[in-house]
Structures are given as structure tokens and as C-alpha cells.
Amino acid sequence: MNKSILLPLLTMAVMLWSFTTPSKYEEAMKKQINNVYQANTLDEFQVVINALDRIAQNEDDKWEPLYYAGFGYIMMGTRTEDAAQKDKLLDQALEKVTAGLKLQPQEDELIVLEGFIHMIRVTVDPATRGQQYSGLSMQALNKALAMDANNPRAMYMLGQMELGTARFFGSDTTAPCEKLKKAVVLFENQKPEGELSPVWGQESAVRAAQACN
């Protein structure tokens, strides 16, 4: 082989390699996003959240690590029975979401998480918190839909909240059920902005829409 061609060829190969391979950040995030979707126990979630925190402290302009850490804390909250513990986890989630919004105030997915946090807060003490936090939750979810009318997660959770309210007061459930059906359609057609964009919620939305009548 010609010696003079080898070096440039190898150099090009290395350069191509670094362009087509994902960055360290994206690699790490894809792995952790997968982990957070797969996690089940509180310990498993904590390990993922820690990894996301490590990424976040290195990338102070990225909202995604904060988003998924917040998501992880919310998931931990839904798997906790103890009221005080649940509140603490939701506080942690809200810290992550607030930090994310500081970086990207117009990111509708973060506002969806905010609505999600308020929704779970109600479950701690529905009688006392029902009115205040369901109001805050629907406010956030509506705000997210105003930013992106096709956000399937916002549509799904808003439908869930309205369905809960309608069932409690014994009023008509047509409008909430419509929202849930629309959410299913939005999930089928969702086009994530990037490889790190949130995609969760489809299974739950489908189940909820089927149960709604």
C-alpha cells in the first residue's frame, strides 16, 4: 500500500468516525433515558437519577438531564405510599423542573411535568389539596397545550384530570373521553424533535381511552 495515502485515509476514517458517532452527551443520555423507562423499583430509579445528575452537572445548558431526573422522581413518587415521603420526592421533582425551565422557559415538555407533579400532589390528601392542586395542574397542562397543541402527554393528562373531576361530581364524561381519544391519535402521530425528546405515555393513554365511556 502506498505509505502517503495511508495517513490521510486513516485521518479521514477517524474524522468520519467522530462525526457519525454520537457525542459523549448523547450516548450517555440515550442510555439513561432507556434506563429511566425500564426502571421499576425505587432503588433502580435512584441509580438512574444519580447518573442523570452527573450528566447535568457537566452540561449546564441542557434541559434534558433535568427533565428525565424530574420524571424519575415523579415515578418514584407514584410508587411510594408514605405521604411525607411522596411529598419530598415531588419536591425534588419540582426542583429539577424549575431548574430546567430556567434554562428553557418555553419547553412545553417541562411544563407537562409540572402539571404531572401537581396531579400526584393531589393524591397525598385529596380532600384538602384537591381543589388547589388540580387547578394548578390543569393550568400547567393547558399552558403546555397552548405552546404545542399536539403534545400527546399534555392532552392525555388533561383528559385524565377532567375525567377524574367529572366522575367525582357525577357529571358528563364526553368531553374528557374525547380528549383521551385524541391523545391516543396524537401519540400515534408523534414526531419527537430529537433522539432525546420524551416519548412516554402511549400505553397508559391507550388503556385510559379504552376504559373511558
Partner 1 sequence: MKAIFTSFILLLYAGHVIGQSTIAGRVVDEKGEGLPGVNVFLVDTYDGTSTDLQGHFSFKTSEEGSYQLKATFVGYETMSQDVTLPGDNEISFLLKEAINRLDAVVISAGSFSAGEESNREVLKPLDIVTTAGATADIAGALNTLPGTQTVGETGRLFVRGGDGYETRTYIDGMEVLESYSPSAPNTPSRGRFSPFMFKGTSFSTGGYSAEYGQALSSALILNTKDMAAQNRTDLSLMSVGADVSHSQVFGKSSISGKIQYTNLEPYFALISQRINYDKAPEAWDGNMAYRHQIGETGMLKTYANWSSSRLAVYQPQPFTNQEDRLEIDNNYHYLNVSYRDVINTKWSFNTGAAYTSSKEDIQFNDVDIEDQLSGAHVKGVVNFDPDASLSIRTGLEHYYRQHNYNLSEENEFKENYNQHISTGFIEADYYLSNDLVIRSGVRAETNNLNRQTNVYPRLSVAQQLGEHGQVSLGYGKFSQQAQQEYLRVNTNLDEEKATHYIANYQYMKGKRTFRVEGYYKSYNDLVKDGTQGPNNDGQGYATGFDVFWRDNQSVSGLDYWVSYSYIDSERDYRDYPQQATPAFSSTHNLSVVGKYFVQDIKTQIGATYSFASARPYNNINEEAFNAGRTPAYHDLSVNFSYLYRSNVIIHASVTNVLGVDNIFGYEYASEPNEEGIYQSQPIKQMAPRFIFLGVFITIAKNKAVNQMPNL
**Smallest separation, CB 84 to partner 1 (Å):** 5
Contact status, residue 182 vs residue 152, Cβ threshold 8 Å:
no
- Under rule CB under 8 A, residue 211 binds partner 1: no
- Under rule CB under 8 A, residue 24 binds partner 1: yes
**Smallest separation, CB 70 to partner 1 (Å):** 14
Distance CA 45, CA 68 (A): 11
Distance CA 124, CA 150 (A): 30
**Smallest separation, CB 181 to partner 1 (Å):** 20
CA atoms within 13 A on the CB side of 107: 21
Nearer of residues 129 and 182 to partner 1, judged by Cβ: 129
Which of 184, 174, 160, 199 lies closest to 67 in space, CA to CA?
199
- Which of 22, 105, 135, 192 is close enough to bind partner 1 by CB under 8 A? 135
Q: Which of residues 148-177 bind partner 1 (CB under 8 A)?
A: 165, 169-171
**Smallest separation, CB 3 to partner 1 (Å):** 6
DSSP one-letter code for 194:
S
- Determine the residue type at 157: M
Judged by CB under 8 A, the stretch of 84-92, 107-115, 150-158, 182-190 that binds partner 1 is 84-92
Distance CA 131, CA 128 (A): 7
DSSP secondary structure, 111-125, as one string: HHHHHHHHHHHHHHS
- Under rule CB under 8 A, residue 22 binds partner 1: no
| 3-state SS, residue 1 | coil
- Under rule CB under 8 A, residue 83 binds partner 1: yes
Q: Count residues contacting partner 1 (CB under 8 A)? A: 38
**Smallest separation, CB 169 to partner 1 (Å):** 4
- Under rule CB under 8 A, residue 138 binds partner 1: yes
* CA-based torsion, 116, 117, 120, 122: positive or negative: negative
Residue ranges in contact with partner 1 by CB under 8 A = 1, 3, 6, 10, 14, 24, 28, 43, 46-47, 50-51, 53-55, 57-58, 83-84, 87-88, 92, 124-125, 127-129, 131-132, 134-136, 138-139, 165, 169-171
